[in-house]
Amino acid sequence: MGRVGVLLLNLGGPEKLEDVGPFLFNLFSDPEIIRLPFPWLQKPLAWFIASRRTKKSQENYRKIGGGSPLRRITEAQADALKGQLQALGQDAKIYIGMRYWHPYTEEAIARIIQDGIEKLVILPLYPQFSISTSGSSFRLLEKLWQEDPRLQQIEYTVIPSWYKQPGYLQAMAELIAQEIDQLPNPHEAHVFFSAHGVPKSYVEEAGDPYQQEIEECTYLIMRTLDRPNAHTLAYQSRVGPVEWLQPYTEDAIPELATKGIKDLVVVPISFVSEHIETLEEIDLEYRELAEEAGIHNFRRVPALNTHPVFIKALADLVIDALKTPSVKLSQVYQMKKKVKIYPPEAWEWGITTSAEVWNGRIAMLGFIALMIELITGRGLLHMIGIL
């Protein structure tokens, strides 16, 4: 085998408070995060939503130490994975490609080319597939592949999702068992899975397999845990006015309290690293909500981070992927076959590489100037006689 690389895909997070605004702009510029019927609206709307959200989001990042720990944790996972692969006799270079912040996917790809990688495994750090997460990174990669003939020389394979991997299930079950056993009445603990939500239309209209994969994953973890405890699945972190997957975590917690539940073990299920939604939303907001509702024993299961059983699971995934026939980026959407691409024409125009963010800002300024001109009846276009 030639030179082997592993590309870990992740979301990225603002490292400092001043990164929050541009990070949110990148996120909302993604047509897989806000699906609009008119692609030209994407950038102006991204700017509008990002600027309205920045202050609130900064306050949350301030509460967890002034920035996201995601880069640091992902780098630690990459180091641990490299070591584990080496122990299994597989040399590989590990690359980190974030979707919305540094180190960007484009930077990782540039280094993969520079290093002369001949065989590449593409591994998203999301156990379950969603259009809005792994799907978005795969689309970006597809675009980069189409644009660069040097990438077409690389033999690559994609791991679309891996929530059934036994080592992953084992590591999750171990962490849950540890928390249950620290409660005064372990058998009464209610295991509360809190998944990151997505808009309901993603599942019902666009065919996102995310909900189904989350439900199956929850079932498999409970089976691996093999305890008689009751469990619930709910969805957290809703953004915007549309309906998201239900039940919402913030409704499900008080409802469990009304049923007399006093001991809760909260399991973040859709993400493998600590991030703002575990450290702020669950640890601060939901804990307070539970306390007010009368749930006094509230424990949160830590994210996997560099849990050795989890790192071994990632290494096994890589080694298996190198042995089996390759999966192409264009096949992923066929495999997740219910997924409809919406709107189709958005992909001609809409993919936002982080390098294009400046174009977006210029487009946004142009749009604002046009709006001002249409409202006031004065401006450049009137001066040159177009309006």
Q: Do 294 and 122 touch, CB atoms closer than 8 A?
A: no
> Which of 29, 42, 130, 157 is in the footprint of ligand L6N33NVT by CB under 6 A?
130
- Residue 102 CA to residue 205 CA, distance in Å, equals 32
Say if residue 382 carries a ligand binding annotation: no
Q: Please report, as a single letter, which amino acid is at residue 311.
A: I
* Residue 57, contacted partner among Fe ion, ligand L6N33NVT, none, CB below 5-8 A by kind: ligand L6N33NVT
Site mask for ligand L6N33NVT (CB under 6 A), range 192-231, x = bound: ----x-xx--------------------------------
Q: Please report, as a single letter, which amino acid is at residue 371.
A: M
Neighbours of 260 (CB within 10 A): 8
Q: Do 145 and 151 touch, CB atoms closer than 8 A?
A: yes
DSSP states of 63-126 as a string?
HTTSS-SHHHHHHHHHHHHHHHHHHTT---EEEEEESSSSSBHHHHHHHHHHTT--EEEEEES-
124 near ligand L6N33NVT, judged by CB under 6 A = no
CA nearest neighbour of 277 among 224, 316, 235: 235
Choices 87-95, 102-110, 191-199, 288-296; region in contact with ligand L6N33NVT by CB under 6 A: 191-199
132 near ligand L6N33NVT, judged by CB under 6 A = yes
Q: How far is the CB of 245 from ligand L6N33NVT (least distance, A)?
A: 10
Instruction: Quote the tokens at residue 385.
Output: 């006689």
Q: Which residue has the tokens 């990669």?
A: 141
Of the two residues 27 and 339, which places its CB atom closer to ligand L6N33NVT in the complex? 27
CA nearest neighbour of 174 among 227, 236, 214: 227
Site for ligand L6N33NVT, residues 255 to 294, rule: CB under 6 A? 270-271, 275-277
**Helix H or strand E segment including 264:** strand 263-268
47 near ligand L6N33NVT, judged by CB under 6 A = no
Phi, psi of 8 (to 5 degrees): -90, 125
Say if residue 277 carries a ligand binding annotation: yes
> Which of 4, 6, 7, 27 is in the footprint of ligand L6N33NVT by CB under 6 A?
27
CA nearest neighbour of 42 among 304, 311, 349: 349
Choices 49-57, 79-87, 92-100, 232-240; region in contact with Fe ion by CB under 5 A: 232-240
Q: Please report, as a single letter, which amino acid is at residue 235.
A: Y
Choices 69-77, 105-113, 220-228, 231-239; region in contact with Fe ion by CB under 5 A: 231-239
Q: How far is the CB of 27 from ligand L6N33NVT (least distance, A)?
A: 6
218 near Fe ion, judged by CB under 5 A = no
> Which of 105, 130, 134, 237 is in the footprint of Fe ion by CB under 5 A?
237
* Residue 141, contacted partner among Fe ion, ligand L6N33NVT, none, CB below 5-8 A by kind: none
Of the two residues 72 and 227, which places its CB atom closer to ligand L6N33NVT in the complex? 72
**Helix H or strand E segment including 191:** strand 190-196
Order of strands across the sheet that contains 119-124:
93-98, 4-10, 119-124, 155-158
Interaction site with ligand L6N33NVT (CB under 6 A): 11, 13, 27, 33, 53, 57, 68, 70, 126, 130, 132-133, 196, 198-199, 239, 270-271, 275-277
What residues form the annotated binding site for Fe(2+)?
196, 277
What residues form the annotated binding site?
196, 277
